């Protein structure tokens, strides 16, 4: 049976987040948040944004209240 999840180090999670952020270039996480706010985000961009924000949470890079995550990137 294949494991659905495997433990990963913070360094591995940060590397995955950087890979996702690099896929966005020249756009930023802030750009995707703005698109989401106006309901103009594509499904693929929303998937990437959700993964980046999830990684921010798991890694512990949680933004302060009222901020938009660790953006801009």
What residues does each domain of the chain span? Answer: 10-59
The pTM (predicted TM-score) of the whole model is 0.77
Contacts 24+ apart (CB under 8 A), 44-48: 48/20, 48/23, 48/24
**Cα 10 to Cα 32: distance, rounded to the nearest angstrom:** 24
30 or 4: which leads in pLDDT:
30
12-65 residue pLDDT tens: 999 999 999 999 999 999 999 999 999 999 999 999 999 999 999 999 987 645
Contacts 24+ apart (CB under 8 A), 26-31: 28/71, 28/72, 28/73, 29/53, 29/68, 29/69, 29/70, 29/71, 29/72, 29/73, 30/68, 30/71, 30/72, 30/73
């Amino acid at each position: 049976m294949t494991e659905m999840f495997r433990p990963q180090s913070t360094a591995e999670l940060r590397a995955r987040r950087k890979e996702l952020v690099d896929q966005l270039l020249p756009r930023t996480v802030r750009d995707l948040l703005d698109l989401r706010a106006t309901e103009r985000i594509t499904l693929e961009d929303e998937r990437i944004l959700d993964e980046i924000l999830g990684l921010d949470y798991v890694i512990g890079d949680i933004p302060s209240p009222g901020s938009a995550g660790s953006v801009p990137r």
